Structure 1
Amino acid sequence: MADKHRINFEPVDIEMEVGEDEYILDAAFRQGIHLMHGCREGRCSACKSFVLDGDIDMDNYSTFACNESEVDEGHVLLCRATAYSDCTIELLNFDEDELLSGVPIQNVRTQVAAIESVTKDIVSLRLQPVEPTTYVFKPGQYSDLTIPGTEDHRSFSMATTQSTPEQVEFLIKKYPGGKFAGLLDDGITVGDEIALTGPYGSFTLKEGHVLPMVFIGGGAGMAPLLSLLRHMNETDNTRRVHFYYGARTPQDLFYVDEILKLGKGLTDFTFVACLSESMDPPPLGEITVENGNVTDVVGRTETDLAKTEVYLCGPPPMVDAALELLEANNTPHDQIFYDKFTSPAFE
């Protein structure tokens, strides 16, 4: 059995146990401690922290996320850090209200309930939890799905909420050569079993927050935004939401009727379809349509982004462009929420 050590997190004064056979972030998940995180692969910097005392090693991480000088100073990525003694770690990014309110990680055996194409390259995959029979998560979070026949996994956001515990929906974009997505055309069928682990991510509504909200999405990034909208409708949330969704053409839009229906149950909701390859798009009923990339449309439409909370989900280039836009508009970092997957997570 691996040796165990104690980790003390500052400045929040939380202690936990960690084994030498697990990463510190995984140990936190196991014990229901919701540390900030993103890719969980050592390629972003969401879980970057500072070692005040103790013996910690890191492996398999990107120097873009934590460079050599930072490592020499004592910085670590908790998703790739192993403790070999009792340690004291300073958290650089944390939400004190959520630290002890996270949902513990669950390993769930599921069965494919439905597979449906919603556009030419996006598929709705619905899974039914079998053992255990329910899967607990917060709207906006994501899960790891094991690629059948392998030990590899891919990360996908849930589009549903706890109001439908018998089924969990994922919206998955099919990329050429994608190991998981390729099986959705030929390889995965109704009744097949898929192992699910989760939930992960900090892309959740924050209790007690009142600022107007701006959603910016594209592609399969629709999933967590739809989960948030469904949750807001179910809980009679009164915050304003402006939802901008980027697509190439009208044929790449989906679930629009449900989005508009959900919006009618909210206090102040608008949905804007941003079409990058339709210079003169036809009228689309009640939908507001704008030409151009989604971030360009947001930039010319939203006049005070610094006084909003912004939720981003979509292809990495879209997220990067949105972050640049928000930086230019002086939007505080603690008002920006996104889970930045690395490329394999989209396959």
Structure 2
Amino acid sequence: MVLQGWVAAPPNIYPDGDALSRKHLVRFEPVGVEIEVPEDKTVLEAAFDQGVMLMHGCKEGQCAACKSFLLDGEDVEHDRYSTFALPDFEKDEGYVLLCRAHAYEDLTIELLNYDEEMIKSGLPIQEAMVEVVSKKHVTHDMCHLVVRLLDPAEIKFFPGQYVDFTVPGSDEIRSFSMANTSALQNGLLEFVIKIYPDGLFSQFLEHRLAPGDRLTIKGPYGMFTLRDNPGAGLVFIGGGAGIAPILSVLRSMAERGVDRVSRFYYGVRTKQDLCFEDELRALEHKLPKFEYIPALSEPGEDDWNGETGLITDVVRRCETNLADTDCYVCGPPPMVEAALELLPSLGVNSARIFYDKFTTTGEPANA
């Protein structure tokens, strides 16, 4: 059944619960990794549980980041997904969405998108209870949220990764990147969250959430982590709340004394939309080869002597050759799409462009 671009999940074919005890071997090529997948979990969930970090984005069957191809085996059923991510003709050809796919026999799957550096370095996904420590606006429409881990008291993650928050009173989840590093202080996690007028979580954050309140999170997820490539330069491109994972990576670089030429292009509309300015300028001293380049797309009458225009246009003006450069992109989906189109034209190897592909889930963006 197709409804507004979505395919419904099939009925439960094991109503007696037998699926809970059945597992099947799933092998991923060309990387040669094998995992056991229970029938009641998706292939992606089972991989996360076993510390295998497969490419993923929305985890809801919308973005196609986890799209793969079935090489051997055919007994696969999908939970509800968008036909924009997996059109019927592709499904008929053998394509699957790992975030929606359940295996009912042993399978061999060809990964179309994968990162060999990350795939075997994943951290098992954990669910945790956190307590709100503080929240404060860093701009008129972005909030800096700090929470403390209660149970467990620690979650390991790579700088730049994100967790899912369960929206209280609902089954909805929203994804937000950590802004701090994995060198936790008192089990604290920091987030920078955009406040949308109709956002389910952001309005709860703005009007109801208070210090001492508790929330459930799950993670870590995401591929936005610093790869070991000492000879390559670094370019970060961010916008809005996309500053969070970039700040996490930059803070980690400062902690570890990473000595790589790096530039952070950060785009906002007006001067009042800039945040963490003092810290970013301080990082230019802690990281001698680092440069922070903010840009205003709508400077108006601001007292501003810096770059202006869309951040991708600024990158186009300032950079002429980005060969041998690793690029990290995070921000509103239109900005990310523009950057993904721009960077290869500047010489960036597409395999060296890193980003997490978020989709809209009731809010204009997740980041």
> Is the TM-score greater than 0.5?
yes
Paired letter, 2:72:
D
Q: Which residue of the partner structure matches residue 61 of structure 1?
A: 81
Q: Which residue of the partner structure matches residue 45 of structure 2?
A: 26
More off after superposition, 333-342 vs 220-229: 333-342
Of 197, 201, 211, the match for 1:190: 211
**1:135-193 alpha-carbon deviations (Å, 9 max, x no partner):** 21100001001111222110000000122242100100001110100012211000000
**1:222-280 alpha-carbon deviations (Å, 9 max, x no partner):** 00000000000000001111101011111100101011112211131111111011156
CA contact (8 A) 2:51 2:122 kept: yes
Of 177, 180, 187, the match for 1:157: 177
Between the aligned partners of 1:174 and 1:98, the Cα distance in structure 2 is: 32
Between the aligned partners of 1:330 and 1:48, the Cα distance in structure 2 is: 26
CA contact (8 A) 2:283 2:290 kept: no
Paired letter, 1:332:
N
Of 262, 284, 308, the match for 1:291: 308
Structure 2 residue matching 1:160: 3-state secondary structure: coil
Q: Which residue of the partner structure matches residue 201 of structure 1?
A: 222
Paired letter, 1:17:
E
Q: Which residue of the partner structure matches residue 148 of structure 1?
A: 168
RMSD: 1.5
CA contact (8 A) 1:119 1:251 kept: yes
Q: Which residue of the partner structure matches residue 81 of structure 1?
A: 101
Q: Which residue of the partner structure matches residue 261 of structure 1?
A: 282
Q: Which residue of the partner structure matches residue 116 of structure 2?
A: 96
- Using the TM superposition, give the Cα deviation of residue 38 of structure 1 relative to its aligned residue in structure 2, in angstroms: 1.5
CA contact (8 A) 1:279 1:291 kept: no
**1:79-138 alpha-carbon deviations (Å, 9 max, x no partner):** 111111111111122222322211110101100011111000000011100001112110
CA contact (8 A) 1:244 1:274 kept: yes
- Using the TM superposition, give the Cα deviation of residue 283 of structure 1 relative to its aligned residue in structure 2, in angstroms: 4.6
Between the aligned partners of 2:325 and 2:88, the Cα distance in structure 1 is: 35
Structure 2 residue matching 1:223: 3-state secondary structure: helix
CA contact (8 A) 1:18 1:83 kept: yes
Between the aligned partners of 1:142 and 1:27, the Cα distance in structure 2 is: 18
Between the aligned partners of 2:341 and 2:131, the Cα distance in structure 1 is: 40
Residue 341 (structure 2) pairs with residue 324 (structure 1): yes
Paired letter, 1:83:
A
Q: Which residue of the partner structure matches residue 217 of structure 1?
A: 238
Q: Which residue of the partner structure matches residue 272 of structure 1?
A: 293
Paired letter, 2:198:
G
Between the aligned partners of 2:349 and 2:84, the Cα distance in structure 1 is: 23
CA contact (8 A) 1:140 1:157 kept: yes
CA contact (8 A) 2:271 2:304 kept: no
Structure 1 residue matching 2:329: 3-state secondary structure: strand
CA contact (8 A) 2:319 2:346 kept: no
Residue 146 (structure 2) pairs with residue 126 (structure 1): yes
Of 227, 237, 262, the match for 2:258: 237
Paired letter, 2:333:
P
Tell me the percent identity: 51
TM-score by length of 2: 0.90
**1:286-315 alpha-carbon deviations (Å, 9 max, x no partner):** xxx201110110011111134311111101
CA contact (8 A) 1:146 1:194 kept: yes
Structure 1 residue matching 2:99: 3-state secondary structure: helix
CA contact (8 A) 2:136 2:143 kept: yes
